[in-house]
Amino acid sequence: MARNLAENVRKLLLLGQCVPTVKQNATKIRVKRLELDENLLMYFRKDEFYYCYDPEKKCQTGDIVLIEALPRKLTKLITHQVKEVVYPFGDVTDPVTGKKVAKERYRDDIDIQSELYGKLESAFDYKKAPPRGWQDGKKDFTSKPTYTKFHVFDENDPYAI
């Protein structure tokens, strides 16, 4: 009884990463879990995939999102909904201070250093950079699911590897 209750509570709110999918109004979320092997007494990583209702397309591929269980299933596959995007992909934020990070340094520190010593012409400017996702469908196809081509067909599929 207590074990079933713990499993139900554990599936109520989950933290996962958004992966590409072709479903309409839904996103596919990968939740990483550690599973205990009773024989070895070691934990091994196990990925679980959930289809989540996301009509506004809040999350993009690579985002870390918080999902919650729906009171009842929308379809056979869609059992959860996206509650919020915790960390957008590409904009790394330090969870303690809330500052944006570039590699191992804060972006504010990089700006202060460039003011003191002069800015390099080859330095990247985060303030002038376009928002993430502006190349989606043009040069960036990471939101599309890829697969390996095992046969050669007449039509050319841009998402095949």
- Residue 146: inside a domain, yes or no? no
48 and 103 share one domain:
no
Domain residues for the domain of 103 are 91-130
99 and 20 share one domain:
no
Contacts of 104 (CB under 8 A, 6+ apart): none
| pLDDT score, position 24 | 82
73 and 8 share one domain:
yes
10 and 86 share one domain:
yes
Pair 156, 141: CB distance under 8 Å: no
6 and 77 share one domain:
yes
- Residue 160: inside a domain, yes or no? no
What is d(CA 35, CA 38) in angstroms, rounded to the nearest whole number?
9
81 and 97 share one domain:
no
73 and 40 share one domain:
yes
63 and 10 share one domain:
yes
Domain boundary among 71, 90, 109: 90
- Residue 137: inside a domain, yes or no? no
Give pTM, 2 decimals. Answer: 0.68
| pLDDT score, position 160 | 63
Provide the residue type at 72 as one letter.
R
Q: Between vectors from CA 68 to CA 64 and to CA 72, what angle results, nearest 5°?
A: 145
41 and 10 share one domain:
yes
What is the domain count for the chain?
2
| pLDDT score, position 5 | 54
28 and 106 share one domain:
no
Query: How is residue 116 annotated by DSSP?
Result: H
Parts of the chain with a pLDDT under 50: none
| pLDDT score, position 17 | 94
| pLDDT score, position 80 | 93
